[in-house]
Amino acid sequence: MIDLLAKLPGLGPRSAKRAALHLLNKREPLMRPLAFAIAEAADKVETCKICGNLDSINPCAVCADATRDASVICVVESVGDLWAMERAGAHRGRYHVLGGLLSPLDGVGPDDLNIGGLIARASEEAVTEVILALAATVDAQTTAHYVADSLAGSGVKVSQLSQGVPVGGELDYLDEGTIAAAMKARRPT
Amino acid sequence: MIDLLAKLPGLGPRSAKRAALHLLNKREPLMRPLAFAIAEAADKVETCKICGNLDSINPCAVCADATRDASVICVVESVGDLWAMERAGAHRGRYHVLGGLLSPLDGVGPDDLNIGGLIARASEEAVTEVILALAATVDAQTTAHYVADSLAGSGVKVSQLSQGVPVGGELDYLDEGTIAAAMKARRPT
């Protein structure tokens, strides 16, 4: 058990031992419920056939929610980023999980990502806007360009998250690249 | 000397003692040159009468530089932020240092900032654009709105730094406010 716990991100060999002892001391209130929850999740959680989200229902709760705006698709790298967008509550449409980023150095090409599914959705559904919510890293922006190019003929509006000063950010503590990006993308007041 | 060193930002009583001993051990290579440099700066550094920058010449080197674009004024809170903008190399025009931010709680009103000087510059000089390069904090954005309103009748274009994802930023590690701001300020690819 300790060896397996130590494979979890955020746990090393020492903290895995500590976690194991904690579990053994709380067999009924924590250990058995956790074992059951993990086994149940392993059985029930599926990848949404529409967007690639993880959920116990398929299509996922976001895709199945009729109150959400089906005309706007927000493209994210991973399910973790989808959850981050939901935490922010800034998107009332649907999602599309790419499942990674283009990375020639790591041998990740367009066929390894769920880009074909996005193009199909953009053409089949009543989609008017695709928002690329990808990170401000080199790989993510390369991927954003590739996806935008792939959607160029589809007639949908393609937009992306603004880059600039993060909320609460003070100029003196920002890196030069962010200041330069915020300057380049400046907008009328 | 230790008491005075301890008043510097970043130094406490203990590190001031350590700095003092370090100085006393390096009298010729460090201590005397430092004393001279501080005294010289106290004599020579002035506030630029045009923009509020600190420099040994007046007008400052930025205002005196004929190769810089006099038609674009970048408004910053402090000289530290002016230096941050110069580090980023993102602005080839001139600056205007407000000398603080509006803060009703701290009793800082419009008359405490160099806003009148900015309005005078915007109307007198051949200025076409004023860029508000203020932080993404509440006080800074309140100040930005006030300055933009003050310039409303002057006919110059007023813009501000974009808010959004900082360079290198990954969605999963960003706060919700920044994601929401980046979503709101999204732009076409």
d(CA B179, CA B107): 32
What digits encode the pLDDT tens for the residues B84-98? 999 999 899 999 999
Angle, helix B79-88 to helix A176-184, in steps of 10 degrees: 90
At residue A189, the pLDDT reads 81
d(CA B178, CA B189): 19
Helix (H) or strand (E) holding A27: none
Q: Please state the pTM of the whole predicted model.
A: 0.81
Contact list in A for residue B80 (CB cut-off 8 A) is 172
At residue B187, the pLDDT reads 87
Pick the CATH number of A54-160 from 3.40.1360.10, 3.40.50.300, 3.40.640.10, 1.20.20.10: 3.40.1360.10
A162 touching B, CB under 8 A? yes
- Predicted complex ipTM: 0.77
Q: What are the boundaries of each domain within chain A?
A: 2-44, 54-160
Whether B63 has a pLDDT exceeding 90, the answer reads yes
Pick the CATH number of B69-160 from 3.30.1330.60, 3.90.420.10, 3.40.50.300, 3.40.1360.10: 3.40.1360.10
What digits encode the pLDDT tens for the residues B42-55? 999 999 999 999 99
What digits encode the pLDDT tens for the residues A74-117? 999 999 999 999 999 989 999 999 999 999 889 999 999 999 99
What digits encode the pLDDT tens for the residues B156-182? 999 999 999 999 999 988 999 999 999
User: Backbone phi, then psi, for A55, in 5-degree steps?
Assistant: -160, 165
What digits encode the pLDDT tens for the residues A10-61? 999 999 999 999 999 999 999 999 999 999 999 999 999 999 999 999 999 9
Helix (H) or strand (E) holding B71: strand B69-76
Which of A85, A91, A172 is facing B84, going by the closest CB pair? Answer: A172
- How many other β-carbons are positioned within 10 Å of the β-carbon of residue A130? 25
B38 touching A, CB under 8 A? no
Inspect the interface and report whether the beta carbons of B136 and A165 lie closer than 8 Å.
Answer: yes
d(CA B173, CA A54): 20
Residue B82's identity, in one-letter code, is: L
At residue A123, the pLDDT reads 87
The pLDDT mean for chain A works out to: 93
| β-bridge mates for residue A159, sequence order | A131, B188
User: Backbone phi, then psi, for A71, in 5-degree steps?
Assistant: -90, -10
Nearest alpha carbon to residue B119 among B145, B93, B156 = B156
DSSP for residue A78: S
CA angle B87, B88, B91 (to 5 degrees): 105
Task: Report how far Cα B58 is from the mean position of its chain's Cα atoms.
Answer: 18
What digits encode the pLDDT tens for the residues B21-33? 999 999 999 999 9
Angle, helix A138-150 to helix A115-124, in steps of 10 degrees: 40
Inspect the interface and report whether the beta carbons of A168 and B186 lie closer than 8 Å.
Answer: no
Interface test with B, best of A82, A167, A187 (most B CBs within 10 A): A167
A72 touching B, CB under 8 A? no
User: Backbone phi, then psi, for A52, in 5-degree steps?
Assistant: 95, 0
Whether B125 has a pLDDT exceeding 80, the answer reads no
